[in-house]
Amino acid sequence: MRADSRALHGWRVVPVPFRLARMLGCVLVSVLTANCDAGGSAGSNHTSDAGARTKPRTVSFQLLRTGERALTTDASGAVSYAPVKSLGGVEVCVSKRRSAFALLQPFEPLTPPICVTDAPGKPVRLQGVPANSDLLVTHTKAGYRPLLTTFRTDEFNVAIPAWADNAMYFTPLLRNEASLPVEAAPPAKAADGLLAIWVDAIGDYGTGPAGALFGSEGDPGTAQADKVNVTITDANAKSIVSLRTRRDRPLFVSLPAGSYRLHFTHPLMELAPAGIQEQFMTLGLPMDTPNDIEVVVAGDHLTLASIDGFCPLPANPRRGFTDIASCTIEADADAGAP
């Protein structure tokens, strides 16, 4: 598991601004002597206008480079990934916000939206973004299906995690004319958005390359998880559909615009929202339980939704995974060894 560099022995280091310290001292003075004004001096009876003079706190964060990801289907129905094509000229915008952790509550438009246009193969940096907010981020480029991702800010800037700062990882865009294997239930409607759901099965080591993943090129210790149960409910806790993830492609589900809870279960994997340890929550917002995320669907957009599934490692270091996608460990030649 990756360590959180913003924590120290379980305690988060939060600097106390001088202004706040002065105000706290002023409260004590006011109890003994007189009131404090907005500037922190005692003895004033003027009405405070601190709210009008205080700018809302903003932060910046980085996102992965964008790349074209295509899926192809052969005559037998098997799905494979085409090579990733690096893209540039994608307009990336923080379009909507709400208070952080306001689970399943509506988002309000950010006026004006905060936008940048990315360069090929380069991370995307967004500045002046509202702090302490849940955000919706759109990715648009002519000829490609508009993409919707998420982010959650607090009091600090967020950079791309060290593990993602290379060409292996990217934000995938699909062409408008791409023929996607949309799930049969619930039935698709013209105004619906599209949700792409997958789970990354992770082990510390494997027996060989795992092949391409939807949002990355993969590595020997990662594969697209097979047969993880996914239950989708809407913001009113109404059950929509239950599905199982696939090892060869994401689940593409057509849904009306709105907020949804995705609940993941698996008999072996330890499930957690993707990027939660690095505060890099682009594939769904963490909720009140570790194996749930909130996603937002918008008409005509593709929304990405994924979590990590950690496979339990074998006690015997001589054993490896024969199939990370299902957390299958190779047989042990030593009888009775775990």
Q: Is the pLDDT reported for residue 94 higher than 50?
A: yes
Average pLDDT over residues 302-317: 91
Q: Which range (52-56, 63-67, 100-104, 109-113) has the least confidence?
A: 52-56
pLDDT in tens, 206-232: 666 677 889 988 877 889 999 999 999
Q: Is the pLDDT reported for residue 4 higher than 50?
A: no
The pLDDT of residue 251 is: 95
The pLDDT of residue 285 is: 97
The pLDDT of residue 87 is: 93
Predicted confidence band of residue 181 (pLDDT cuts 50, 70, 90) = confident
Taking a C-beta distance cutoff of 8 angstroms, is the pair 137, 93 a contact?
yes
pLDDT in tens, 124-177: 999 999 999 999 999 999 999 999 999 999 999 999 888 788 788 999 999 998
| Share of residues in the chain with pLDDT > 90 (%) | 56
- Sign of the CA dihedral with 250 first, then 255, 259, and 261 last: negative
The pLDDT of residue 281 is: 93
- Please state, in angstroms and as integers, the Cα–Cα distance from residue 332 to each residue in 221, 268, 338, following that order: 20, 19, 8
* Nearest Cα residue to 171 out of 66, 255, 244, 86: 66
The pLDDT of residue 259 is: 97
Strands (DSSP E) found in 177-265:
193-202, 222-224, 229-234, 239-244, 251-255, 258-265
Predicted confidence band of residue 20 (pLDDT cuts 50, 70, 90) = very low
Q: Which range (111-120, 217-226, 229-238, 246-255) has the least confidence?
A: 217-226
In the structure encoding, which two tokens stand for residue 105, read together?
């509550």
In the structure encoding, which two tokens stand for residue 235, read together?
């913001």
The pLDDT of residue 54 is: 63
> What rounded mean pLDDT belongs to the chain?
82
Taking a C-beta distance cutoff of 8 angstroms, is the pair 4, 277 a contact?
yes
162 SS3 class: helix
pLDDT in tens, 25-79: 443 334 334 444 433 434 334 444 445 546 789 999 999 999 999 888 777 777 8
pLDDT in tens, 259-282: 999 999 999 999 999 998 889 999
Question: Within the chain, how many helices (H) and strands (E) appear?
Answer: 2, 25
Q: Is the pLDDT reported for residue 244 higher than 90?
A: yes
- Sign of the CA dihedral with 77 first, then 80, 86, and 92 last: positive
| Share of residues in the chain with pLDDT > 70 (%) | 80
Residue with tokens 């299906």: 145
Whole-model pTM over 0.85: no
